[in-house]
Amino acid sequence: MIAAASTPRLAAGRYRIAIVGGGPSGFYAAEALLRSGQSVDVDMYERLPVPYGLVRFGVAPDHPKLKQVTRVFDRIAELPGFRFFGAVEIDRDVSVAALRSCYHAVILATGAAVGRPVDVPGERLPGSHQAGDFVAWYNGHPDFRHLRFDLAAEHAVIIGHGNVALDVARILAKTPEELRHTDIAAHALEALAASRVREIYLVGRGGPGRTRFAAKELQEFAELADCDPVVEFGDRPELAASPGADSEAEAALKVLREFSTRPVAKQRRCVFLFGLTPFGIEGDGRVRRMLFSPSQEQVRSAGRGYVALDCGLVFSSIGRRAAPISGIPYDEARGVHANIGGRLTSGGSVLPGLYVCGWGKRGPQGTIGTNRACSVETVANVLADLPHFDAPPSHPDHLFAATSIRRYVDYPAWGRIDAEEVARGGAIGKPREKLVAVEEMFAAAGGGVAC
Amino acid sequence: MPYVVTDLCSGCRYTECVSVCPVECFHIDDTMTYIDPTNCIDCGGCVPVCPVGAIKAAHKLPPDKVEWIEINRRRAAETPVAMGKLPPLPGADERKAMILR
């Protein structure tokens, strides 16, 4: 336990910036600020005790190489002027207004935390889930670890043709042996090992040339131990011929065409279905079936009717929206915090000192590195504006005294959590065994830092 | 398997790749960029942003481009990291128009 007096004092005469959110866009914003050559100090506030956001809780456990990006975040955290306050949540523990009174500028890097509903009857039946909840569950997110998924169901429907849908399908399709040596949460590995899911439908509204799949991630379905990818263009050869909307969709289409000619021999199947619009979910107290309507064009050209898929699980993966924050204007149409180039705006006029970067700024698109360019743009605007701001009336040192926050996790404390996880994982052949409860994290952190 | 910048970049050097690389694995000289294979985390984010399609997964290179795996490795070791986007080389747009025609 570190005494309160050890909280480092901020240097006088420097700009102080608060970043809310410890995911990729937050780290890249910190980097852009701390490497700007200006006199800037950065305090990063993260609602969980652990950093990295969706790199820890979104990137699939079987994509370990992508997670190496955390080494870059650790280097950013070592830059002079950076401080990390884990387990401090905006709105719950401290308001944006309170941060604003202590910092020259506040940058929201809070992401897009809310899954978009499909908006069909039956969506609230047990067995119908947001894909993002399943992802957070298998990745050991403390808020989602208690969720239950009925993996006794033999058929699962995933709605949406993006990379999150692929992640969900792949984790459902893999054998326990394929997952055992990843950093998947222990509770998820145990549940998935008993899974009876053998048919996974990936259903999209558009044609095969209009998916948002990355070809590289699609290609992984060709190499699964016990699951075949199935694409049936069947009576609709026009779909196979339809050109992609852009080069990435074109590359994905090429892989889908290749799947359509493969023999099917394995226990599990992952079936890609196109041109189907969600119509409703049916069931007697739980999900039994999902109905889709064909597009008008298909009804005309092929006389297609409604399609019913028997299933016990439905995962909706059609996009995400930023979670609204008190006092922060929201762009309902785009599902982001209203902004122009990362400057928060209300009714078209800029709110001084308030900024946004990452998915809360531009929506849930791009790869991890897309956030780098996004945060660089926001920070360029912050740096342009800073000379015009008055010094904030209060100081971060007073912030904790005025709130109910009594402890937090700093970066060295996160290092102890990290070491504990790696050690626990090493003992059982995993790169890490994630701690999934906040109290466990604090215990491994040595209690964290007292305020 | 890392990604590789091929000679299609040479003479254009748009550096869109640099701005989206999460790990700063792009190196640069007077003519083109190179990927450091030991730092690349295979995210593939640079592939669709290249205006001339110069970046490919190493295992998908056609036989006449395979030499670029080794060239990337060697030149990345010899050249500095590109820290941000740079203006394209003179004549890049004309060259791009030729390539994409």
- Tell me the average pLDDT across A169-186: 98
pLDDT tens-digit map of A131-166: 999 999 999 999 999 999 999 999 999 999 999 999
The confidence score (pLDDT) of residue A300 equals 64
Q: Is the pLDDT of residue A3 over 50?
A: no
Helix (H, G, I), strand (E, B) or coil at A429: coil
Helix (H, G, I), strand (E, B) or coil at B7: helix
The confidence score (pLDDT) of residue A5 equals 39
Give residues with Cβ within 8 angstroms of A396, minimum separation 6: A10, A16, A18, A43, A102, A103
Closest by CA position to A101, among listed A343, A399, A393, A403: A393
The confidence score (pLDDT) of residue A4 equals 39
pLDDT, greater one: A204 or B101: A204
Query: What does the angle CA A358 – CA A316 – CA A20 come to, to the nearest 5 degrees?
Result: 25
Asked whether A90 and A20 are in contact (CB, 8 A), the reply is yes
pLDDT tens-digit map of A362-379: 999 989 999 999 999 999
- Tell me the average pLDDT across A346-360: 96
- pLDDT band for position A353 (cuts 50, 70, 90): very high
- Tell me the average pLDDT across A54-62: 98
Q: Does B23 sit within 8 Å of A68, measured CB to CB? A: yes
Torsion of CA A398, A345, A53, A415, to 10 degrees: -30
Asked whether A398 and A147 are in contact (CB, 8 A), the reply is no
Closest by CA position to A270, among listed A315, A301, A324: A315
Quick one: three-class SS letters along A335-399? Answer: CEECEECCEEEECCEEEEEEEECCHHHHCCCCCCCHHHHHHHHHHHHHHHHHHHCCCCCCCHHHH
Which residues of B are less than 8 Å from A216 in CB distance? 42, 44, 57
> Distance (Å, rounded) from C-alpha A413 to C-alpha A417?
7
User: What is the DSSP-derived secondary structure letter of residue B58?
Assistant: G
The confidence score (pLDDT) of residue A369 equals 93
Two tokens at A206? 């558009």
Structural element, H or E, at residue A416: helix A411-426
> Distance (Å, rounded) from C-alpha A406 to C-alpha A451?
5
The confidence score (pLDDT) of residue A10 equals 47
Asked whether A438 and A427 are in contact (CB, 8 A), the reply is no
Closest by CA position to A212, among listed A161, A284, A176: A161
- Tell me the average pLDDT across A383-409: 89
Closest by CA position to A185, among listed A232, A142, A224: A142
The confidence score (pLDDT) of residue A297 equals 65
Please give the radius of gyration of chain A, using alpha carbons only, rounded to the nearest integer: 23
For residue A320, list its beta bridge partners.
A115
Which region among A58-62, A241-245, A265-269, B21-25 has the lowest average model confidence (pLDDT)?
A241-245
Closest by CA position to A183, among listed A408, A419, A424, A395: A424
Task: Give residue A211's region: left, alpha or beta (phi > 0; psi -120 to 50).
Answer: beta
- Tell me the average pLDDT across A311-334: 96
Asked whether A392 and A428 are in contact (CB, 8 A), the reply is no
pLDDT tens-digit map of A336-349: 999 999 999 998 89
Beta strands A287-294 and A307-310: pairing type? antiparallel
Two tokens at A145? 């670890």
The confidence score (pLDDT) of residue A232 equals 82
> Distance (Å, rounded) from C-alpha A106 to C-alpha A20?
7
Percentage of chain A with pLDDT > 70?
94
The confidence score (pLDDT) of residue A1 equals 38
Position of tokens 């820890």?
A56
Two tokens at A212? 């948002």
Task: Give residue A322's region: left, alpha or beta (phi > 0; psi -120 to 50).
Answer: beta
> Distance (Å, rounded) from C-alpha B61 to C-alpha A61?
28
- pLDDT band for position A448 (cuts 50, 70, 90): confident
The confidence score (pLDDT) of residue B101 equals 78
pLDDT, greater one: B60 or A130: A130
Best probe of the B interface among A31, A65, A217, A248, by most B CBs < 10 A, is: A65
Q: For residue A341, give how far its alpha carbon lies from the nearest alpha carbon of chain B (Å).
A: 16
Compute CA distances A108 → A102, A325, A364, A407, whole Å: 15, 10, 15, 22
The confidence score (pLDDT) of residue A295 equals 72
Q: Is the pLDDT of residue A6 over 60?
A: no
Please give the radius of gyration of chain B, using alpha carbons only, rounded to the nearest integer: 12
Q: Is the pLDDT of residue A88 over 80?
A: yes
Best probe of the A interface among B23, B55, B81, by most A CBs < 10 A, is: B23
Task: For A414, list phi and psi in degrees, rounded to 5.
Answer: -60, -35
Structural element, H or E, at residue A203: strand A199-203
Positive or negative, the CA dihedral A290, A291, A295, A300 is: positive
The tally of CA atoms less than 13 A away on the side-chain side of residue A156 is: 33
Beta strands A105-108 and A15-20: pairing type? parallel
What ipTM does the predicted assembly reach?
0.90
Give residues with Cβ within 8 angstroms of A125, minimum separation 6: A281, A283, A285, A286, A287
Cβ–Cβ contact B91 with A under 8 A: no
The confidence score (pLDDT) of residue A298 equals 64
Q: Does A24 sit within 8 Å of B44, measured CB to CB? A: no
Compute CA distances A395 → A98, A274, A398, A406, whole Å: 10, 55, 6, 17
Two tokens at A79? 């830059």
Position of tokens 């692929």?
A166
Q: Does B41 sit within 8 Å of A69, measured CB to CB? A: yes
* Chain A residues with a Cβ under 8 Å from any Cβ in chain B: 24, 65-66, 68-69, 71-72, 214, 216, 246-248, 366-373, 376
Task: For A171, list phi and psi in degrees, rounded to 5.
Answer: -65, -35
Q: For residue B31, give how far its alpha carbon lies from the nearest alpha carbon of chain A (Å).
A: 23
The tally of CA atoms less than 13 A away on the side-chain side of residue B88 is: 18
- Tell me the average pLDDT across A328-336: 96
The mean pLDDT of chain A is: 93
